[in-house]
Copies of this chain bind each other. A is one copy, B any other.
Amino acid sequence: MSFATTMLRVDPRPLPHIDRAALAECIEACIECAATATACAEACLSEPDLPELTECIRASLDCADVAATTARVLARHPAYDANLRRALLAACRVAAALSAEECERHAERHNHCRVCADACRRCEAACQSLLDV
């Protein structure tokens, strides 16, 4: 059992109308995406084709910040305001999709971009799932 699942299980509040499994998946997908994008931006700085990777670095840094904040707000407020949740999930979905698109352009040459693209697509899908509820 993951730590997000564990923490939602021991939360003292009732959480009606919340799909705890989907919420835990989204929190963990955001956290993994943020950490992976941070590492990918760093790895890109060491590549010989760095000048072609600047948009990928920018998208990764944005995605890391937005996904980390989304994980925090989701972890903090399982029963929060629906408007904030939806607006932030929408922003995170866009940030993850942009970062995935950039990384996919370099995934054949760079393994870190391939791994990062996967983490971003997982995050994008998890945000979309919560928005679809």
Contact = CB atoms under 8 A, between A and B. Distances in A.
A61 B11 CA distance: 17
B58 A39 contact: no
A73 B95 CA distance: 10
Interface of A: 3-4, 6-8, 10-13, 27, 31-32, 35-36, 38-43, 45-47, 50-51, 54, 57-58, 61-62, 64-66, 68-69, 71-73, 75-77, 80-81, 83-84, 87-88, 90-91, 94-95, 98, 110-112, 114-115, 119
23 contacts: A3-B35, A7-B112, A12-B112, A27-B35, A31-B35, A41-B61, A42-B75, A42-B77, A45-B57, A46-B54, A61-B61, A61-B76, A62-B77, A64-B72, A65-B69, A65-B72, A68-B69, A69-B69, A84-B91, A84-B95, A87-B87, A90-B90, A90-B91
